[in-house]
Amino acid sequence: MSVFTPLSGVTIQVSDHLLEYRSEQFRRPKSRKRRIRRKWSKDRRNWRDVHVPRVLSLRGVIVCDPVTFEQMKNTPVQPLRVFESDIYLLSFESGR
């Protein structure tokens, strides 16, 4: 288990125990006949393993699996955009 503390002060722990994959059939026959579909579902070449992202947040600590951590690390953070109409609504609601 690795522990990372980015600039925001939130601690991120990476745990291999959360790593999970599930099988998904990505190739299907054009035929709608049940017999053909059953034959295709038995063939392992028509299936692939897909990563299931898992993130837990416990008392200010984020626990995630290594694949999700790499995705979070490589994703740029976008600043929060505030529009003038939102500021008007906020000022109107606070004036009540």
What does each of the 96 residues of the chain score in pLDDT, given as a tens digit? 556 666 566 788 899 998 999 999 999 999 999 999 999 999 999 999 999 988 888 887 889 999 988 888 888 776 666 665 555 544 444 444
pLDDT of residue 6: 61
Pairing of strands 61-64, 21-25: unpaired
**Tokens standing for residue 3:** 């522990």
Q: Is 49 helix (H, G, I), strand (E, B) or coil?
A: strand
Quote the pLDDT of residue 23: 93
Residues 46/40, Cβ–Cβ less than 8 Å: yes
Q: Which residues span the domain enclosing 76?
A: 2-94
Number of domains making up the chain: 1
| DSSP, res 8 | T
Contact 22, 48 (CB under 8 A): no
- CB neighbours of 53 closer than 8 A, spacing ≥ 6? 64, 65, 67, 68, 71
Tell me what pLDDT residue 3 has: 64
pLDDT at 72: 84
